[in-house]
Chains A and B, each alone.
Chain A
Amino acid sequence: MPLDMDSKLKTVLIGSSGTSNAFSSVLSLRRNWNGNVKIVAVDSNPRNLVTSSLLCDKFYQVPETCKPEFRDAITQIIKEENVDTYIPFIDEEIFVLALLCEENILNRNLCLQVKDHKIADLCNDKLKTYEWLSEMNILTPESFRLNPAIVGDGQYVIKRRRGFGSRIIRLSDVKENLTQYSPDDFIIQYECEKPEITIDVCFDQKRSFFSYICRERIETKGGVCTRARLFYDESLEKTAYTIADKLSLNSFCFQVMNYKGDWAVTDINARPGAGTGMSVAAGMDFFSAMFAILWDEDPAQYIRPLKKETFVTRQYSDFIMNI
């Protein structure tokens, strides 16, 4: 049900709108740009299973991002709805969108954070992330292709190369039966130790504005942080700036864990995280800042630096989707 709109409005497409970060984005759009933005949401789930759709003007159910039909479906929606800003929330989706831009299937003027498929791929592929971080001299846990011949006795885990929130498999548990894991899909990585910290980052190169916050994942449920400690750390700030600058990312998060006594980067997500909403609660609205950067507005107005270490917990709300 579209709001009363005129032609000057921005049209934002929220990808994977069933995710919690998508819902936070929609809230931030309605809070700060209210009715002056038309929101189109897509998800692989039907509308009545996607909370964000309650605040959106249009909703489309689309094929999963990993399916080839997704490309055509999303291209058609972008064209039909005159979408000028696209916010993808799944790493595979970021990659597909970057490809579509590079292939000139989508308008190059589309506001989209990652338009270079190599950067999208680098963030989505843990092995490539490892290689890039090593090249940049940023500490990252030793990672290599799954190869039984070089498996040592160290503290290693098997991880999917792509995707997020993957289950960790200890190498020692499956060492005798490694053939079940395809070397194309899995890597071996040194197992880091807790705590796990996510760093939310906002970087506007044009305005020389940089902000970040570290979020210790005290508790996670289903891979999403539910209890967090927010704080600043100078060494992580430096790492955040380097990643933002070298990859030209303006709104993203990355994870670090304890690796032999130091912070090592384990993951880079070219998007706000599922727990980024917890930073918003503390006054650091990374979602609004993301839109501000994409639309050449000042992001600083949305970020109020923390005055003290802050603890944030998350509780879920219930919504009836078909009244």
Chain B
Amino acid sequence: MNSGIVFDLDGTLITCGNKQKFVLYSVLNAMDDHTAYNPEAWWALKREGMNTEKALAELGFLNAKTISDQWKMEIEKSVWGELDKPFEDSLPTFKYLKESQGIDIIILTARKYKYLVLQKIFTYGFYEFIDDLIVVDPFRVVEEKRKYLEKIKPIVYVGDTELDYFSATGSGVRFIALTRGQRSRTFLNTVGDMQTQDNLKFLNNINYLCLLLKDRQIQI
């Protein structure tokens, strides 16, 4: 047992912006709201740390609260999960880590329903590569994730938000933030001193993996 690598799911292994943008679009269509909709601008504001309502208000939506409330209800529907998909490097990275390096893979994510996550893990083909799937309460993300990270003591935890960062630092686990998810590099850099990467390419590099493992005094 090498303690493996722990991954967050949304924004780390699968896209998260597409679902958020098009759920907003569906809400606006249902509200027949013709305020100029600029999904990229809204998403950029959210990636900079703004919440849904504030980002809408910033873009000129007068009924930002109503839209935001409706959006929060809609985003929970499982059907909208079909708007996101795995990043192109997720499955190949799993394959490399598992088949070439024999490294354990664990997904640690915060969602309301574990069974829905399991469905997606199957659809995306992650299922055959992962050793464990841990789903924690989205309202207690930092404490719950920290607890599991302390227990697992992985080589590294790869996530995409400040909450992931706090969980990792709180448990003494090395953290690497991906900048392709919920938060931008700029925002993450304001949160703390963390290593950031654009994608999972770094995990496909044997030298980098050796360095990570050396830190843990474990040989591949």
Contact = CB atoms under 8 A, between A and B. Distances in A.
B16 to A, nearest CB: 12
B34 A1 contact: yes
A317 B78 contact: yes
A149 interface: no
Interface string A280-300: 111100000000000000000
A283 B125 contact: yes
A230 B119 CA distance: 15
Contacts of B125: 283, 304
A227 to B, nearest CB: 16
B30 A31 contact: no
A322 B31 CA distance: 6
A32 B28 contact: no
B29 interface: yes
Contact of A281 (B25, B31, B123): B123
A35 B39 contact: yes
Contacts of B22: 30, 34, 55
Contact of A27 (B40, B70, B82): B82
B21 interface: yes
Contacts of A31: 18, 82-85
Contacts of A3: 25, 37, 39
Nearest to B77: A317
B18 A1 contact: no
Nearest to B25: A55
Interface in B117-153: 119, 122-125, 128
Interface residues of B, number: 31
Contact of B30 (A27, A30, A321): A321
Interface string A1-29: 10110000000000000000000000110
B95 to A, nearest CB: 12
B26 interface: yes
Contacts of B124: 283
A282 B123 contact: yes
B18 A34 contact: yes
B18 A30 contact: yes
B163 interface: no
Contact of B26 (A4, A54, A280, A282): A54
Interface of B: 18, 21-22, 25-34, 37-40, 70, 77-79, 82-85, 119, 122-125, 128
21 contacts: A1-B28, A1-B33, A1-B34, A1-B37, A3-B25, A27-B79, A27-B82, A30-B18, A32-B85, A34-B18, A35-B21, A54-B26, A55-B26, A280-B123, A281-B119, A283-B124, A283-B125, A304-B125, A317-B78, A319-B30, A322-B30
Given A1-B28, A282-B123, 11 more contacts: A1-B25, A3-B37, A4-B38, A27-B82, A27-B83, A32-B85, A54-B26, A280-B123, A283-B125, A323-B27, A323-B31
